[in-house]
Structure 1
Amino acid sequence: MKLDVHVCGRTVAKLYRERDEYVLSYLPDTAPTDFVSLTMPVREEPWRWPRDLHPFFRQNLPEGYLLSIIREEFGPLLDGTDLSLLAVVGGMGIGRVTVTPEGGVPGGDMEPLQIESLLKAKNTTAHFASLVRRYARVSISGMVPKFIAPEENADASAHVVGKPTLRTSRYIIKGSDDSTPYLGFNEFHTMRVLERLNIVPVARTRMSEDGCILVVDRFDVDVQGIVTHGVEDACGLLGLPPHEKYATTTERVLNATRVYVPATAIRTQLEQFGWHLLTNYVVRNADCHAKNIALYYTGLKNVAYTPAYDIVTTQAYPRYAANPPGLSVDGRQTWAVGKTLERFFKARLGITPKQYAEMVERLCESAVEVGQEVIEAARNEPRWHTLAKHMVYAWNDGMTSLRSPKGLVVFRGLHEAIAQVGFSEPERTESGRKMIGRSELLGKPRKR
């Protein structure tokens, strides 16, 4: 089996298996700007990878629930290899690179989805499962239920697509499952802690009225859905397969990504990395791994960290509340950071202890403000009560662990707001680390 590899709709390479290796071979006269990956620039000699697909091509392969659906729906087209899976889903996905069977055309003819109606609908587990099944033939990674779909009522001018362009959906739609109820509510408000500061780019999100669905604006496409950017996560840049996304460190992730950032932008980009890292500690997101830190670019001279995405208060779910941070810092994988983060910021990011303390306090102040919004939302909608309670308790824990206990200033927290609303103590956490995304939606495969 040979696959065509396209960059923004232009066919630039062939991808195939040769004995025990996977091979990416650029076509003659491919422009240097049409590189497939930062790690695989255009050259005459093929790029080979032993046993498995090159890490770049594995970064967007479906996981978890979506992968199980694809296996059910397209089983006859799959031979057990990632190459055959890529042949099924690679025609539409995240970033400027698409993959099709030889002679195939990137993109897909899928039924449009009314995004606004979805935000107002009653999004039951069964309803969302049917949507995932309908839009399964798309290359998107992640363990939680999600999909990409073309939206209805898009700008008519966006349908005029020339050969060098590729039009796709402007949104990623994420759902909840039984282990992460109201995930849309959780992620929407958690992301707001960083977003409302308006300091660094953050992916724009919208929550459905029932709190079950999150619609995320893609940052790799323009307002017409034309792909503009390549996207590569740190997992692929490190040469790791997706299932090893936790098997690295913050230092290695930083080293693997910063090398591609232009020198003129390195200071602001390292600060952006720092804001993202700190936010995870404030809101207690244990699921920031090597696939949730990524670069995007239009060319080698315009490489930057993507807007922050996939920030969730994992401690709000008892099943995952005992999980430590996804990646270690200075050999430590704990929420009790002490001086560890401050030293990392100074030595690795060039951020002074004074600036670090200011960043911590700005994030904590934002967490207090958004925390009060979360409490108010729970007052108005009882179904969010338990999740909201666990979220604000988690944020209080995060703020306490980052602020210096020796400070003379009495810092604002959420204790008073929690007491006023009458929240009880959080539920007991389940022991042992558990991975996000083992969806309760998963069922037994259908017999054929």
Structure 2
Amino acid sequence: MILDVHISGRLVAKLYRERDEYVLKYLPGTELADFVSLTMPVREEPWRWPRDLFPFFRQNLPEGYLLGVIREEFGAMLDGTDLSLLGLVGGTGIGRVSITPEGVQPGIDMDPLEITHMLQAENTAEHFAELVRQYARVAISGVVPKFIAKDASHNQQPLGKPTLRTGFHIIKGSDDNTPFLGFNEFYTMHVLERLNVVPVATCQMSEDGRVLVVDRFDVDEQGIPHYGLEDACGLLGLPPHEKYRPTVEQVWNATRSYMGADRLREQREHLGWHLLTNYVVRNADCHAKNIALYYTSQADVGFTPVYDLVTTQAYPRFAASPPGLSLGGRQTWTPGRSLETFFKSVLSIPPAQYAAMVEQLCQSAVEVGHKVIEASKNEPAWRDVAKHMVHAWNDGMETLRSAKAAPQFRGLDNAIAEAGFSGPRKPESRGEVVGRSELLAKKR
């Protein structure tokens, strides 16, 4: 099987397997600006990767629920390899690179979705599963039910066959392990978003709290993929299932090498805000695929807007999970001085600035925590997840504000008591990390 590789609709390379290697071969005359990946610049000599598909091409391959749907719907078109899966879904996905079977133009016919209607509808599991099946043939990673869609309200003019236009939105649903995920992620994202210190993906929550509509940041106003996008997992040469293996230090070293010196200061702070937010809101699912770079050229490489912030501790199955990436040789929610030391020695953020960032996030968590509690008063179905979200944020504030757990730093105690919330339930004993397979060996 030979696949065509396109940059913003322009054919630039061939991707195929040769004996025990995968090969990416740029076409003669390909412009230097039309590189497929930061790790594989344009050159005459083919790029080769042993045994498995290049990590870059695996970064957007479907996982979990969506992968199961694709196998059910399109199993006859798959031969069991990642190459055939990429050929099936790669024509429409995230980022400026699209992949199709040889001779096939990128893009697929995608029926518009009434986003406003979906935000107001009752999104039952059965209804959302049907939508996932309808929009399944796209390249998007992640284990929760999700798909890409374009909003029917956008009155788009035809752009011609050579132009690839994809959906404006990523639609994320809930499952049995993460009920009301839309509610959880919407308010968790707001803790960082309201500070306006770094870009954060824009999102809307459905009225029933089950669905989150995330605006894509890799497309322009016409829905044309404009940015290249590469996650840290791929930059480290790792397959997606090893996304929890790297350390924060390794992620920073893998991403910083592609950034211009004039952008390093703001990018250090960007990563710093992202990391601290995970500790405050207790998001155990910040792995190497949730930290990514985007760019229009090698001159403007930087971190993407922050996305996929979820209070994982609010769900019993994942409540005992540690941070997804180790830091200072440890995976713990009580990092002591190691987090501050990392900020000072690696990110060049002095202790006074670090302390101020922590306080800003904690104050924001308190403000948003009151909104979470108020929302749960209006919708009783959200009460359980809301209760565990604010308990988790209380824990996060307590351990970040003090090297020793200090109850006086729990900023939501009074609000929790006034809401009549009981204490958090005991976590399930499995201690799983969101997205980590139970079949994998324990992390070293």
Which TM-score band (shorter chain)? over 0.9
CA–CA separation in structure 2 for the residues paired with 1:405 and 1:301: 40
Aligned pair in 2 of structure 1 residues 406, 156: CA closer, same or farther (>3 Å)?
closer
1:31-430 matches, cutoff 5 A: 31-157=31-157, 159-161=158-160, 163=162, 165-404=163-402, 411=409, 413-430=411-428
Q: Give the deviation of 1:407 after TM superposition.
A: 12
CA–CA separation in structure 2 for the residues paired with 1:404 and 1:22: 50
After superposition, the C-alpha distances for 1:325-345 in whole angstroms (9 at most, x for unaligned) are 000001010001110100000
* One-letter amino acid of the counterpart of residue 108, structure 2: G
Q: Give the deviation of 1:406 after TM superposition.
A: 8.0
CA–CA separation in structure 1 for the residues paired with 2:429 and 2:409: 31
The answer to whether the Cα contact below 8 Å between 2:56 and 2:235 also exists between their aligned partners in 1 is yes
Aligned pair in 2 of structure 1 residues 364, 73: CA closer, same or farther (>3 Å)?
same
After superposition, the C-alpha distances for 1:167-221 in whole angstroms (9 at most, x for unaligned) are 1111000000011000000000000000000010000010000000000001100
CA–CA separation in structure 1 for the residues paired with 2:106 and 2:256: 31
SS at 2:316's partner residue?
coil
CA–CA separation in structure 1 for the residues paired with 2:433 and 2:143: 9
Aligned pair in 2 of structure 1 residues 285, 406: CA closer, same or farther (>3 Å)?
closer
CA–CA separation in structure 2 for the residues paired with 1:75 and 1:216: 29
The answer to whether the Cα contact below 8 Å between 1:92 and 1:106 also exists between their aligned partners in 2 is yes
CA–CA separation in structure 2 for the residues paired with 1:438 and 1:412: 30
CA–CA separation in structure 1 for the residues paired with 2:200 and 2:364: 15
CA–CA separation in structure 1 for the residues paired with 2:280 and 2:274: 10
Aligned pair in 2 of structure 1 residues 406, 88: CA closer, same or farther (>3 Å)?
closer
CA–CA separation in structure 2 for the residues paired with 1:369 and 1:391: 13
Aligned pair in 2 of structure 1 residues 105, 407: CA closer, same or farther (>3 Å)?
closer
* One-letter amino acid of the counterpart of residue 317, structure 1: Y
Q: Give the deviation of 1:420 after TM superposition.
A: 0.6
Q: Give the deviation of 1:267 after TM superposition.
A: 0.2
SS at 2:319's partner residue?
coil
CA–CA separation in structure 1 for the residues paired with 2:130 and 2:407: 53
Q: Give the deviation of 1:435 after TM superposition.
A: 3.6
The answer to whether the Cα contact below 8 Å between 1:155 and 1:224 also exists between their aligned partners in 2 is no
* One-letter amino acid of the counterpart of residue 239, structure 1: G
Percent of pairs with identical residues: 69
Q: Give the deviation of 1:112 after TM superposition.
A: 1.2
Q: Give the deviation of 1:149 after TM superposition.
A: 1.6
Which stretch shifts more, 217-226 or 7-16? 217-226
* One-letter amino acid of the counterpart of residue 126, structure 1: E
CA–CA separation in structure 1 for the residues paired with 2:430 and 2:284: 13
- Give the unaligned 5+ runs of structure 2: 438-444
CA–CA separation in structure 1 for the residues paired with 2:111 and 2:359: 46
The answer to whether the Cα contact below 8 Å between 2:145 and 2:173 also exists between their aligned partners in 1 is yes
CA–CA separation in structure 1 for the residues paired with 2:169 and 2:302: 21
* Greater RCO (Cα-Cα under 8 Å, separation 6 or more): 1
Aligned pair in 2 of structure 1 residues 231, 361: CA closer, same or farther (>3 Å)?
same
Aligned pair in 2 of structure 1 residues 248, 431: CA closer, same or farther (>3 Å)?
same
The answer to whether the Cα contact below 8 Å between 1:161 and 1:167 also exists between their aligned partners in 2 is no
SS at 1:156's partner residue?
coil
Q: Give the deviation of 1:166 after TM superposition.
A: 1.9
* One-letter amino acid of the counterpart of residue 159, structure 2: V
CA–CA separation in structure 2 for the residues paired with 1:6 and 1:279: 36
CA–CA separation in structure 2 for the residues paired with 1:322 and 1:117: 37
Which stretch shifts more, 405-414 or 333-342? 405-414
- Give the unaligned 5+ runs of structure 1: 440-448
User: How many residue pairs are counted as aligned between the two chains?
Assistant: 437
Match of 1:442 in 2: none
After superposition, the C-alpha distances for 1:334-358 in whole angstroms (9 at most, x for unaligned) are 0011101000000110000010000
The answer to whether the Cα contact below 8 Å between 1:61 and 1:86 also exists between their aligned partners in 2 is yes
TM-score (norm 2): 0.96
The answer to whether the Cα contact below 8 Å between 2:284 and 2:433 also exists between their aligned partners in 1 is no
Q: Give the deviation of 1:153 after TM superposition.
A: 2.6
CA–CA separation in structure 2 for the residues paired with 1:438 and 1:127: 26
Aligned pair in 2 of structure 1 residues 133, 400: CA closer, same or farther (>3 Å)?
same
Q: Give the deviation of 1:111 after TM superposition.
A: 1.5
The answer to whether the Cα contact below 8 Å between 1:6 and 1:97 also exists between their aligned partners in 2 is yes
CA–CA separation in structure 1 for the residues paired with 2:435 and 2:130: 18
Q: Give the deviation of 1:248 after TM superposition.
A: 1.0
The answer to whether the Cα contact below 8 Å between 1:147 and 1:174 also exists between their aligned partners in 2 is yes
* One-letter amino acid of the counterpart of residue 76, structure 1: A
Q: Give the deviation of 1:32 after TM superposition.
A: 0.2
CA RMSD of the aligned region, Å? 1.6
After superposition, the C-alpha distances for 1:289-320 in whole angstroms (9 at most, x for unaligned) are 00000000000001010000000000000110
SS at 1:287's partner residue?
coil
The answer to whether the Cα contact below 8 Å between 1:144 and 1:438 also exists between their aligned partners in 2 is no
SS at 2:11's partner residue?
strand
* One-letter amino acid of the counterpart of residue 35, structure 2: F
SS at 1:99's partner residue?
strand
Match of 2:442 in 1: none
CA–CA separation in structure 1 for the residues paired with 2:64 and 2:187: 25
Match of 2:13 in 1: 13
TM-score (norm 1): 0.95
* One-letter amino acid of the counterpart of residue 116, structure 2: E
The answer to whether the Cα contact below 8 Å between 2:146 and 2:171 also exists between their aligned partners in 1 is yes
* One-letter amino acid of the counterpart of residue 243, structure 1: H
The answer to whether the Cα contact below 8 Å between 1:368 and 1:412 also exists between their aligned partners in 2 is no
After superposition, the C-alpha distances for 1:355-375 in whole angstroms (9 at most, x for unaligned) are 000000000000000000000
CA–CA separation in structure 2 for the residues paired with 1:31 and 1:161: 23
Match of 2:440 in 1: none
